Amino acid sequence: MYPHKTNRRCATLAATLMLLSLAACGPAKQAAPKAAAPQVSVITARRTSVPVSTELPGRTSAYLVAQVRARVDGIVQKRSFQEGADVKANQALYQIDPAPYRAALNSALAALQKAEANLVATSSQADRYKILIGGNAVSKQAYDNAVAAQGQAAADVAAAKAAVATASINLGYTNVVSPIAGRSSVSQVTQGAYVQGSAATLLTTVQQIDPIYVDLNQPSVAGLQLRRDVASGQVKLNGADQVKVTLTLEDGSQYPLTGTLQFNGVTVDPSTGSVTVRAIFPNPKYVLLPGMFVHARIQQGVNDRAILVPIPGVSHDPQGHATALVVGPDNKVVQRTLQTQDTLGNSWVVTAGLNEGERVIVSGGQKVLPGMLVAASETPSRQPAAQAVAANAAATSVAE
């Protein structure tokens, strides 16, 4: 081995060792900083009183319906009302030819006069025979016949009076009047038409639509749940005379007047599984017409233990269940499944799944997952506003 090559290798090795020594003595590399916890906004769940309401579909129906029909046979001489106009009770609508019935009444009156004259004669004869029989001037058989004739004459008078009354009633039926006050419909007959009392020919229909009924269909399961909530004390009913009903019309507009609940059905329709709920509404301007499809909201009571959660704080899973993200005491996110009743203003009405005092995420929830550590800040503006809406609605429903 040559001496100059050995010296070169030794120099190279020494330089390498020196570099490694200098690198080892240098400052240590700092660790990467931890990521900050996501910021979320929360509201604190508080129990409050909210009105319990249900929305049901239904149809309007007239308060009173009278089918005006002929009660005697004859020719219609005239119609005395305008189709579609309002009519009063006992207002004349049609005139049926009264001549045959006037003649029948006159005949009955004549028969009555004849029967009354016969009664006078038989009564006088019976009175005379009563005196004569005391002196044996007439036989007892003759007296008995006179008394029987008097009784028969009295019966004839009674029958004649009944015939007069019948003829008078039939004559009155020729003047067809409205049995109720309301709005008339299309006339089914014209002047000159022949109508029959035996067939009860339909002439027209009169409907009273102020006030007007609204017949609603409530699923039996909804009524069952309401009764359970009332029994448990969760819902307090306002009372049958205080239950208010509001209407939404076919075009989506709100009916301006409030109705009241009349009755809640007690029989379930086996074909639909629902019960009939009837409400009554004032209808002074005839906005509501029989047969209209409407949606009604019934204020059934007050829930004193509901929790209002702003709409952004509630989402739904693929199965349709309402869920919310809650920040626990350790600032970790927990997902809860909720039971919601309805919306009130800008909030969901939560009846189960949350406890009072828990913090519900209402903003920033899209960037966190259950189990994550978060930094929560209170959002006081949403919940008090929702509570004010609820308190106002509850007070209004009770006050009305």
Which CATH number is 53-62+209-303 given?
2.40.30.170
41-50+304-399 folds as: 2.40.420
DSSP 112: H
Q: What angle do CA 44, 47, 52 make, to 5 degrees?
A: 130
pLDDT at residue 60 is higher than 50: yes
pLDDT at residue 51 is higher than 90: no
DSSP 346: T
* CA pair distance 123, 136, nearest whole angstrom: 20
Sequence-separated (6 or more) residues with CB below 8 Å from residue 89: 178, 179, 180, 181
CATH number for 98-173 (one of 3.30.300.30, 1.10.287.110, 1.10.275.10, 1.10.287.470): it is 1.10.287.470
DSSP 312: G
Side-chain half-sphere exposure of 368, counting CA atoms within 13 A: 28
Annotated domain spans of the chain: 41-50+304-399, 53-62+209-303, 98-173
Integer CA distances (angstroms), 235 to 23, 160, 255, 359, 397, in order: 77, 68, 27, 25, 14
Q: What are the tokens at 222?
A: 């909804």
Please give the pLDDT value at position 380: 67
Residue-wise pLDDT for 215-262, tens only, equals: 988 887 777 766 676 676 655 555 555 568 899 999 989 999 999 877
Whether 227 and 269 have beta carbons less than 8 Å apart is answered as no
Backbone angles phi, psi at 268, to 5 degrees: -90, 130
Integer CA distances (angstroms), 293 to 56, 210, 281, 296, in order: 11, 17, 14, 10
Helix, strand, coil content of the chain in percent (nearest 5): 30, 35, 30
Residue-wise pLDDT for 99-114, tens only, equals: 999 999 999 999 999 9
pLDDT at residue 397 is higher than 50: no
Residue-wise pLDDT for 321-343, tens only, equals: 899 999 988 988 999 899 887 78
Mean pLDDT of the chain: 83
DSSP 70: -
Whether 40 and 378 have beta carbons less than 8 Å apart is answered as no
DSSP 254: B
Q: What global pTM score does this model have?
A: 0.65
Whether 45 and 309 have beta carbons less than 8 Å apart is answered as yes
Q: Which residue pairs from 248-251 have beta carbons closer than 8 angstroms and sit at least 24 positions apart in sequence?
A: 248/294, 248/295, 248/296, 248/297, 249/287, 249/292, 249/294, 250/292, 250/293, 250/294
Residue-wise pLDDT for 357-395, tens only, equals: 889 988 888 888 888 888 888 886 444 444 444 445 444
Residue-wise pLDDT for 300-316, tens only, equals: 777 888 888 998 889 88
Please list, residue by residue across 212-246, b when 16 or more beta carbons sit within 10 angstroms of its beta carbon and e when fewer do. bbbbbbbeeeebeebeebeeeebbbebeeeebbbb
